[in-house]
Structure 1
Amino acid sequence: METQEQSIASRPDYVPEKFWDADKGEARLQTFSESYTHLEQKLHSKMDDLRAEVKAESLANRPENSSDYTLPELENVEFQDDDPLLSFWREQAHGMGMDNDGFQEGIKSYVEAMQAMAPNVDQELAKLGEDGQTRINAINAWADAKLSEDTKNALNSLATTAEGIVAIEEMMALSQVSSNSVDGGQSAPVAESLEELQALMNDPKYWGAAGVRDQGLIDRVTKGFERLQNG
């Protein structure tokens, strides 16, 4: 009886020797699977360790509590500890793992952006003319004499522009008109224009800067605004 010698396959180049059974001429699939599983577990473990290390480094300089952040010292800027926006930023910065420098830089950037959007004080004052500061002083004197603290605070945002100053001056004049309508008044010379009325209102005697108010001047301004209102 004739027998044939069975040929055995040789190892392909892409199969490592440790995964090849030369006697059987085939790959050791179980060994390969076990080795792959072990390698995968090892890689996952290293990745977890790396993530933990990166997280620890990122939080290394973060304050223990969000309330531990300190505020930057900025010129002409005062912070209120109970400001909701400030509390929000504290929590956000702490959640992102920011150190104190990063927290302060965020505040500085916000303040700079708000200041860039705010009216330029010198430019707005120039729009009011040479007597601009006098007009503002007159408004402050009127507000101190006539308005509550809450109302004055609400009016502050309007008084940041030249247009706002003019609007307040008109409200001042109208309030004077209303007051004289109730109290009665004597006939007085009538001013010709809004600009002239505003100039008269800047006179210290109108507001009683020296302790005495000029009733004749007050009546003149009042009648002038009545004439402008009635056309």
Structure 2
Amino acid sequence: MSENLLEVEAEPAGDGGAAGAVAVRPDEVPEKFWDGERGAIRVEALLKSYRELERKLSARFAPPADDAPEEERLRFRRAMGVPDTADGYVVQPKHELIGADPEVNATLHQAGFTPAQVQLVYDLAAERLLPIVAEATSQFEAERQRDRLRAEFGGEERYRRTAKQIAAWGRANLPEEVLTALSTTADGVIALHRMMEKGEPALARQAEAPETVDEAALRRMMRDPRYWRSREPDFVRRVTEGFRRLTGG
């Protein structure tokens, strides 16, 4: 039984001869969904329209197939917020070393990345890759400095032996912070070796640097890329000479 028992005919008018009043279509109900004769909503038409709308919405936000027309693929990408070209990406770099790269952007655009997803890629690169690169660079630079010392002292064995002697002499004669600072570069170690050979300076372990030397400034210079990365000779010499003056050498 499919008849709707809730839909009943209007009762006859009180005089028994005139037909009952027909319900008026509400303003919010479109005409195509209203049965004027019955004064009721066309339920079947409404359900059919809803199913069609649901199908269209599902198709709109479903990824197009690989063989879909380019127009359909472009329409889907626009709906997702993907720009028409890779030039439409605006990246806000978190670090000066991780800036927008046209080739990377082109690859991400081809994969259908949204601007937010592209920004996330660069953010993750700055957060995850930079520490790895910095560590690798530090290790490479440290090994390069050791190569200089091996050449300076005549091979691996003599370098190791001399390094132990310098370390023992430095701990006995220099403030700890000065020894630590000079021990981080080949130039600093060579300077320590020369001071050790000359027997100077005879400083107590906790001796203070002369007031005329600004140790904080020297430390800032050591953090400068010209010192630890490009190793500019004049700049490195200024740091080395500064520590020599600091220790009275």
Query: TM-score when scaled to structure 2?
Result: 0.30
* Greater helix share, structure number: 1
Query: TM-score when scaled to structure 1?
Result: 0.32
